[in-house]
Amino acid sequence: MQAETSEILGENHVTGVRFKDGLKIPADLVVMAVGIRPNIELAKKTGLYCERGIIVNDTLQTYDPRIYAVGECVQHRNKQYGLVAPLFEQAKVCANHLANLGYSLYQGSVTSTKLKVTGIDLFSAGDFRGNENTDELVFQDPSQGIYKKLVIEDNRIKGAVLYGDTLDGAWYFQLMRDSVDISGQRDRLLFGQAHLGNSGHGETNAQQRGEERMTA
Ligand SMILES: Cc1cc2nc3c(=O)[nH]c(=O)nc-3n(C[C@H](O)[C@H](O)[C@H](O)COP(=O)(O)OP(=O)(O)OC[C@H]3O[C@@H](n4cnc5c(N)ncnc54)[C@H](O)[C@@H]3O)c2cc1C
């Protein structure tokens, strides 16, 4: 929005917000939806090529071949990450190259996250907005405070948003990462893993598989 907040106005209750350019907007509620901005001043000063972050290739090498970068400060394939899991994946690849092994490539990460606020169960993963090539499976139970949405493309999960009931988040995420064909489970998918019954498990159910594992 090209706007920068300079002050939240009001004594005991918020009455408005003032922006850097002097504009004042009256308000009795302020919601802060803040993103991240990489700290790349040092890299810029050294002359490293940066856009929104320090640009790296699939080996995490910057435009200066002597310098590698990982973490929130990097921009890889036009993406930046603000969670630790992708950064661990980057570090693993980077370490591989620093150790002169040189075979590992970082091709980007699929991320999932859970909001850690007491009383608000929220999970999201992948592309949860979708586009003209995707379908949406949606379950909504407003009186119970439950909303679930899966974004599907070519019978594969591309993204998920779960609110109120996030129990199956890890399972959807696994199906997404493994690019599992969900056509056989599509009608029950939103009810969760516990309701799959015998379908989708290769003619066995979860209990049987557990028993098989124990026998093995
Ligand atoms: C409140 C909060 C909660 C979060 N919760 C989660 C969560 O639940 N799950 C999750 O996956 N992620 C979470 N994150 C994000 C996660 O913490 C970051 O993505 C991760 O720490 C980034 O790691 P990094 O190594 O890239 O950067 P950082 O951890 O920020 O490390 C950068 C280091 O560089 C140092 N530094 C900066 N400038 C210089 C300089 N000029 N010279 C020398 N040193 C310098 C800094 O002091 C810092 O120690 C959270 C972040 C915040 C702020």
Segment 162-216, tens digit of pLDDT: 999 999 999 999 999 999 999 999 999 999 988 776 554 444 444 444 444 444 4
- Cα 93 from chain centre: 20
- The residue with greater pLDDT, 103 or 209, is 103
Identify which of 67, 72, 124 to mutate to test ligand 1's pocket (most ligand atoms within 8 A of the CB).
Answer: 72
Residue 213 lies in a domain: no
Burial of residue 162, with CB atoms counted within 10 A of its CB: 0-12 exposed, 13-18 middle, 19 or more buried = buried
On whether both 116 and 189 belong to a single domain, the answer is yes
On whether both 119 and 184 belong to a single domain, the answer is yes
Segment 19-34 mean pLDDT? 92
Given this model, what pLDDT does residue 100 score? Answer: 93
Residue 200 lies in a domain: no
Q: What's the whole-model pTM score? A: 0.75
On whether both 89 and 19 belong to a single domain, the answer is no
Given this model, what pLDDT does residue 115 score? Answer: 86
Give the position of tokens 């199956």: 168
Identify which of 44, 54, 83, 115 to mutate to test ligand 1's pocket (most ligand atoms within 8 A of the CB).
Answer: 83
Please say whether the beta carbons of 164 and 144 come within 8 A.
Answer: yes
Atom of ligand 1 nearest to the CA of 82: 19
Residue 107 lies in a domain: no
Query: What domain range is 17 assigned to?
Result: 1-34
Q: What is the per-residue pLDDT across 121-168, written as a single tens digit (0 to 9) for each? A: 999 999 989 899 999 999 999 999 999 999 999 999 999 999 999 999
On whether both 190 and 149 belong to a single domain, the answer is yes
Percent of the chain with pLDDT over 90: 74
Q: What is the per-residue pLDDT across 43-100, written as a single tens digit (0 to 9) for each? A: 999 999 999 999 999 999 999 999 999 999 999 999 999 889 999 999 999 999 999 9
Show the CA angle centred on residue 123, arms to residues 122 and 128, nearest 5°: 120
Given this model, what pLDDT does residue 121 score? Answer: 93
Question: Which residue's CA is minimally distant from atom 21 of ligand 1?
Answer: 84
